[in-house]
């Protein structure tokens, strides 16, 4: 969540985030979606903003995503009587710079689900830039070429696979370190820039006593 007005993804634990962190989602103006996996997009909870469910402000939340994400959200709203002016849906395309009400974003190709145009985002807001880089395995070369030389104050990467030697669709530790190195070598990281790593997979080992 950026300044309580720009949100990336809408997972099923959004309500938990609201209660835990004291976030009022009615302050949200723009919502950008990376892809349609249910841990990033749970469109049924958007329905709660429609008439008859809960009190909501009158302003329209603008939602941006690839064609698959926009279609799923559209169909969910239609099944519940339409958007009632509460949402406006916009399709994003890779490498197109899109001006939102709260920021300027550029969707870039991720390496995640080959059946969908999954996106990572370069976000420009209030003089700062954020590279929101998940879900994705090692980034496609076309994404790196676009990013080269672009200044970044904060990069958010994922490390789903941990120390597992597998980096297809998700990153592991080695892939994260390689991404950090390439960002530094290509001049992306501004002075004082930070890299945050999230989306860790919880590995559970079960022992059976015989």
Instruction: Give the pLDDT of residue 204.
Output: 44
What domains sit in the chain, N to C, each tagged with a CATH number? Answer: 6-198 (3.60.15.10)
- pTM for this entry: 0.92
Q: Above 70 in pLDDT, residue 203?
A: no
What tokens were used for 54?
A: 């809960």
Q: What is the pLDDT of residue 208?
A: 35
Question: How many Cα neighbours within 13 Å face the side chain of 191?
Answer: 0
Flag whether pLDDT at 209 surpasses 80. no
CB 119 within 8 A of CB 70: no
Pairwise CA distance, residues 63 & 91, whole Å: 8
Residue appearing with tokens 């950090």: 180
Torsion of CA 74, 77, 83, 88, to 10 degrees: -30
Q: What is the mean pLDDT of the chain?
A: 93
pLDDT of 202 reads 56
155 secondary structure, DSSP code = E
Query: Do 186 and 147 meet the contact criterion of CB atoms below 8 Å apart?
Result: yes
Taking only the tens place, the pLDDT of each residue in 50-103 is: 998 878 888 999 999 999 999 999 999 999 999 999 999 999 999 999 999 999
């Amino acid at each position: 969540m950026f300044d309580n007005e720009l949100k990336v993804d809408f997972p099923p634990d959004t309500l938990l985030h609201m209660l835990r962190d004291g976030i009022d989602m009615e302050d949200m103006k723009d919502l950008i979606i990376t892809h349609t996996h249910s841990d990033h997009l749970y469109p049924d909870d958007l329905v709660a903003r429609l008439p008859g469910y809960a009190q909501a402000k009158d302003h329209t939340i603008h939602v941006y995503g690839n064609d698959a994400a926009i279609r799923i959200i559209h169909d969910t709203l239609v099944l519940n009587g339409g958007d009632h002016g509460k949402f406006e849906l916009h399709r994003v395309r890779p490498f197109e710079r899109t001006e939102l009400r709260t920021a300027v974003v550029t969707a870039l190709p991720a390496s995640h689900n080959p059946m969908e145009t999954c996106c990572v985002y370069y976000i420009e807001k209030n003089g700062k830039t954020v590279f929101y880089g998940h879900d994705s395995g090692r980034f496609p070369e076309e994404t790196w070429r676009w990013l080269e030389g672009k200044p970044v104050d904060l990069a958010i990467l994922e490390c789903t696979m941990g120390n597992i030697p597998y980096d297809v669709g998700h990153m592991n530790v080695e892939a994260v370190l390689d991404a950090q190195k390439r960002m530094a070598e290509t001049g992306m990281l501004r002075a004082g820039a930070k890299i945050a790593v999230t989306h860790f997979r919880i590995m559970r080992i079960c022992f059976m006593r015989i």
